[in-house]
Amino acid sequence: MQALWMVLGAFLFATMGVVVKIASAWFNSGELVLGRGLIGIVFLWLLARNRGVSLATQYPGMHAWRSTIGVISLGAWFYAIAHMPLATAVTLNYMSSVWIAAFLVGGALLAWVPVPGRDGRVARPPLQAPLVLTVLAGFAGVVLMLKPSVDASQGFAGLLGLLSGVTAAFAYMQVVALSRIGEPELRTVFYFAVGSAVAGGIATAATGFSGAGSWTWPHALWLLPIGLLAALGQLCMTRAYATAKTQSGTLLVANLQYSGIIFAAFYSVVVFNDHIDGAGWGGMTLIIVSGIAATVLRQRAVPKAPAEEH
C-alpha cells in the first residue's frame, strides 16, 4: 500500500503541474503562489483540527526560513512550468535530491582538514565515489535536457527551473531539521502554505494583479485544484512514508516519487503536444537514475527522513 500511496502522490503533483501550466495563461506566478497558499491554509487548518494537531509552534524562526526558501523554489518552479515544456520543468525540480548529494560532497571538502598521518603523508579529502558519480550523472542529464530542448526564449525559465531544484534541496534540509526536533509534518506544511500566501500576496501587490480583461471568474476556478492537489499529494507521500515499516520499504517509497517525472512526460506529450527527442529522454533517464541513487544514499544517512514536496 505504501507504494501505491507514493505513486498516487506523484501523480497528484504532476497533475498540479498541468493545472499550473493551464492557469498561467491568465495568472502570473505570484498569483498562482498566492492561490496555492490560501487554499492550502484552509485545507490544512481543517485537517489539523480534525486530527487534533496543534498548529502552535515554538520554532517560528525555523518555519520562517523553511517557508522563505520553499516559496522561492515554488515561484521559480511555477515560472518554469509556464514557459517550458512541462516534462522539462518537472524534471529540473526533481533534481533536489542530486543537489543534496552535491552539498554533501562540498560539505565534506570544506570540513576536511589536511592533517599528516603517522607516515608524514597528508590523506586525501574524504570524497565518496558514489556521491560524486551521482552528482555528475545528474548534471549530465541536465545538459542533455536543456541543450537540445530549450531555445533562447526559454533560457531564463531553464535557469529558474534549476533554481527551483537547488532551493527545494535547501528547504528539504530544513524540513529534516524540523522533523528531528519533533515538529509534525502537517504543521510544517501549514506554515509553508502561510508563507506562500504572504509571499504571493507581496509579489502580486508589487507586480500588479492580472487585468480583468485577461481572465474571467470561471478562469479563477483553476486556482482551486492547485492548492488541493498539492495538499493531497503531500498527504499521500506522508502516508506512504508512515506506512513503510522497513528500511527496504522506505527506500522503495522514496524512489517511487520519481514516477512523477513519468507522469509529467505523459502529460507533456499527450496534453500539450510537446516534442521530446532522444537526448531529452536520455537526460530525463539520467536524472531519474541519479535521483534514485542520491535518495538511497540519503536514506542510509538519515533513515527516517520526511517526505519531499514538489
Give pLDDT, residue 255: 83
CA gap 281, 83 in Å, rounded: 19
Rounded CA gap, 129 and 202, in Å? 44
Positions in the chain whose pLDDT score sits under 70 = 104-129, 147-153, 211-215, 247, 301-305, 307, 309
* Full DSSP string of 48-100: HHHHT-----S-HHHHHHHHHHHHHHHHHHHHHHHHS-HHHHHHHHTTHHHHH
Q: How far is C-alpha 5 from the chain's CA centre?
A: 17
pLDDT of residue 304: 67
What pLDDT, on the 0 to 100 scale, is given for residue 152? Answer: 60
Cell digits for 3? 507504494
Query: What is the per-residue pLDDT for 48?
Result: 92
What one-character DSSP code corresponds to residue 210? P
How far, in Å, CA of 94 to CA of 165, rounded?
6
Nearest to 223 by CA among 9, 43, 86: 43
Longest dimension (CA), the chain: 77
Rg of the Cα atoms in the chain: 20
Q: What phi and psi, each to the nearest 5 degrees, are found at residue 28?
A: -85, 175
Per-residue model confidence (pLDDT) at position 108 = 60
185 near 306, Cβ under 8 Å?
yes
